[in-house]
């Protein structure tokens, strides 16, 4: 197929290398334009100082610079893409719009609307798999069904990859870059929109030194590779540099998942990467598992994967609101929980182990609806991804696929003693507790003292809350 011209619509794929839609458009077309739309339907609900907008803004600047170096240019719009993309396609007179799949229900509806508008104008719409290795119904059980348990899904995923390693092959851009449409007259002088023009202010992203864009992802990946062998153990300790810290880059596609998986698979094939490499790969497979679950079960947005769990009666009323506010603000009286919430509120990041601990505490110690916690994380996490966030919260609430049993209730004190035994993480975010001993810091209310400590007593007692949770969850056994 040869088209006169096409338009590549960047979304969750903010890079100019190993990019499926861009590669395919360059293969198919004589001239290729690129566009990114700051989606007003999404941005309208965000705070003015949003780290994710800051991250996107910096990453888009790098994409624009890279395209310019290759002889092309990036068109940027601030609008509703459902209207802006068909309008821009008409303005440019392109034959087709290319993009990469987005698996969220609202995104699917948006893309369907865009495709319909384009076709009404006689233009084509093409979408490709890019942000995952396997998608939708590519990994099925032996009977052709959709998996609901992770381990058999992971085994089938690995078996499929072994059978067809070509899915990791890169999609090269530079050899075809001559087909990128050059900037129209005067376009190079037109600056990208500022944060202020988008209605935002700088966040503390730069202060936290979070690397942005393609170069930032590459920097973090190179930093993580020498540490991947120790990932299996190091990942559980929030005061240790164990994770890759790449989650925000996965979210916005500033890296190539094919390149990362290819690198890790090669490490494992050579007997390198220790015990950590396969564990890290399994975490990527969890990401694809949750994306697959969301695609096949859109009801999980707002509802339990297991509908029986929607019958649970959560705490409501003024007292419940006070408990929820204390959790949000890190005033629960449980240091590990409060330090984790402080980390989230101050940085937009939370260690994965602590995501489980804080979620379980909200749901099973405070009796608050998991959807409220999911929504809070969605607003504050730099790496917010609907599928993974929803999957994690449903796991913690026991309402999801392959979730922890409802009677498994994390004890925030023992979790603290096990995973932050010296209190290093707690002291970082709760400096008022810095003078307590390593033993005392996990449960300050048990420490005899002459003067009151500048720290609240527990808002609930864990043992009593556990009994109430077992009673609350009894409804799912009926």
Q: Which residues are designated catalytic?
A: 283, 286, 314, 352, 370, 393
Give 458's contacts (C-beta < 8 A, 6+ positions apart). Answer: 332, 333, 334, 445
* N-term to C-term CA, the chain: 59
Give 155's contacts (C-beta < 8 A, 6+ positions apart). Answer: none
**Contact at 8 Å (CB) between 374 and 384?**
no
One-character DSSP codes across 417-445: HHHSTT-HHHHHH-GGGTTS-TTGGG-GG
- CA 189 to centroid of chain Cα atoms: 35
**Contact at 8 Å (CB) between 61 and 192?**
yes
Closest CA to 138 of 32, 328, 269, 296: 296
Angle (deg, nearest 10), helices 276-296 and 257-269: 140
**Contact at 8 Å (CB) between 254 and 387?**
no
The three-state secondary structure class of 9 is strand
One-character DSSP codes across 264-325: HHHHHHTT-STTHHHHHHHHHHHHHHHHHHHHH-GGGTTS-SSGGGGG-----SHHHHHHHH
Closest CA to 331 of 211, 154, 455: 455
Closest CA to 174 of 5, 18, 8: 18
Instruction: For residue 446, give both structure tokens.
Output: 């048990």
Provide the sign of the torsion angle of the four alpha carbons 33, 38, 41, 42, taken in this order: positive
**Contact at 8 Å (CB) between 151 and 124?**
no
Half-sphere exposure of 297 (CA within 13 A, CB side): 22
Angle (deg, nearest 10), helices 386-397 and 352-360: 50
Angle (deg, nearest 10), helices 412-419 and 352-360: 160
């Amino acid at each position: 197929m040869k088209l006169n011209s096409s338009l590549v619509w960047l979304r969750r794929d903010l890079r100019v290398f190993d990019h499926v839609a861009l590669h395919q458009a360059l293969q198919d077309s004589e001239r290729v334009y690129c566009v990114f739309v700051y989606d007003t339907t999404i941005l309208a609900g965000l705070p003015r100082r949003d780290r994710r907008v800051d991250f996107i803004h910096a990453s888009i600047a790098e994409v624009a610079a890279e395209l310019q170096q290759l002889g092309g240019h990036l068109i940027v719009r601030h609008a509703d893409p459902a209207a802006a993309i068909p309008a821009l396609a008409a303005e440019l007179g392109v034959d087709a719009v290319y993009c990469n799949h987005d698996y969220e229900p609202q995104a699917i509806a948006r893309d369907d609307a865009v495709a319909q508008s384009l076709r009404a104008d006689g233009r084509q719409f093409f979408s490709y798999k890019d942000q995952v290795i396997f998608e939708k119904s590519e990994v099925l059980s032996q009977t052709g069904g959709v998996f609901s348990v992770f381990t058999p899904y992971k085994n089938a995923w690995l078996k499929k990859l072994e059978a067809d390693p070509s899915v990791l092959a890169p999609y090269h851009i530079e050899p075809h870059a001559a087909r990128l449409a050059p900037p129209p007259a005067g376009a190079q002088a037109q600056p990208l929109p500022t944060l202020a023009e988008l209605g935002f202010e700088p966040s503390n992203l730069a202060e936290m030194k979070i690397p942005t864009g393609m170069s930032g992802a590459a920097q973090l990946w190179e930093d993580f590779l020498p540490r991947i062998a120790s990932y299996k153990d190091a990942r559980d300790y929030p005061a240790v540099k164990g994770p890759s810290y790449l989650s925000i880059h996965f979210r916005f596609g500033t890296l190539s998942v094919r390149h990362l998986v290819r690198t890790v698979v090669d490490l494992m094939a050579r007997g390198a990467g220790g015990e950590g490499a396969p564990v890290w790969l399994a975490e990527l497979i969890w990401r694809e598992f949750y994306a697959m679950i969301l695609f096949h079960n859109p009801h999980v947005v707002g509802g339990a994967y297991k509908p029986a769990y929607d019958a649970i009666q959560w705490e409501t009323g003024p007292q419940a609101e006070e408990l929820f506010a204390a959790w949000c603000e890190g005033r629960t009286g449980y240091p590990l929980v409060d330090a984790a919430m402080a980390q989230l509120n101050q940085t937009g990041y939370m260690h994965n182990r602590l995501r489980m601990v804080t979620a379980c505490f909200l749901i099973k110690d405070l009796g608050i609806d998991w959807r409220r916690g999911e929504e809070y994380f969605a607003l504050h996490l730099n790496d917010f991804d609907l599928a993974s966030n929803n999957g994690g919260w449903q796991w913690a609430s026991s309402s999801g696929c392959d979730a922890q049993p409802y009677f498994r209730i994390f004890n925030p004190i023992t979790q603290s003693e096990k995973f932050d035994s010296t209190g290093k993480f707690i002291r970082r975010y709760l400096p008022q507790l810095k003078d307590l001993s390593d033993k005392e810091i996990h449960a300050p209310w048990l420490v005899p003292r002459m003067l009151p400590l500048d720290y609240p007593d527990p808002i609930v007692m864990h043992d009593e809350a556990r009994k109430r949770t077992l009673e609350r969850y009894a409804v799912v056994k009926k």
